[in-house]
Copies of this chain bind each other. A is one copy, B any other.
Amino acid sequence: MNETATATVTAAGSKSQQAYEAVKARIVEGTYTPGYRLVLASLAKDLGFSVVPVREAIRRLEAEGLVKFERNVGATVAGIDPTEYLYTMQTLSIVEGAATALSAPLVGEADVARARAVNQKMRECLDHFDPVRFTQLNQDFHSVLFEHCPNPHILDLVHRGWNRLGSLRSSTFRFVPGRAHDSVDEHEALLQLIEAGADAATIEKAARLHRSATLDAYLAQAQPLP
């Protein structure tokens, strides 16, 4: 059997949990593309489990918005129509902004240095532009900034938002390449705010606008998503 390289090796005994993580991984990494039909029996046979744990896993993924479920019909990998993208990005702008602001006082020098290093890689990435790598680095960067958020509820909401966007992380910056440059600059500005111990409201506003700007750039592009 093959394991996902990025997996945290949870090795959770529960098969529901295993199924959950397996399916989630396949969705996020793109093995199951949006619209893909998730048949319980097939998945169960594929994973070697019975349908019951798989079913539970699917319902959990539904709750997170990663799959769409229709009674007596089945589950499909949640699509990302532009409307959903807008909703998700808007929600993320709000909760991530808050998380970043709440996290800021707990971000130490080492964290800032790490974030800055990531941002530097992003800047280098601008030349021979690789959207996938860039978006991955982007997530790494922001993770450093909000991961210290002391409120686990908010942090969870942020993670869910990123997960939902994960399905199209390969394409986010592909559609708005011009945005990448500004993004890197805004990152540096954000770091300086944090270093300076800026007001929570200021940091929140900056973080939110940073995300909103990406959303706006996408909307301006008005390119239909796959």
Contact = CB atoms under 8 A, between A and B. Distances in A.
Interface of A: 13-14, 52, 55-56, 59-60, 63-65, 71, 87-88, 90-91, 94-95, 98, 151-154, 157
> From DSSP, what is the main secondary structure of chain A's interface residues?
helix
Given A71-B14, A157-B157, A91 B151 contact: yes
B95 A151 contact: no
Given A52-B52, A71-B14, A153 B91 contact: yes
A64 B62 CA distance: 12
A88 B152 CA distance: 10
A153 B94 CA distance: 11
A94 B87 contact: no
Contacts of A91: 151, 153-154, 157
Contacts of A88: 153
Contacts of A64: 63
A152 B87 contact: yes
A146 to B, nearest CB: 13
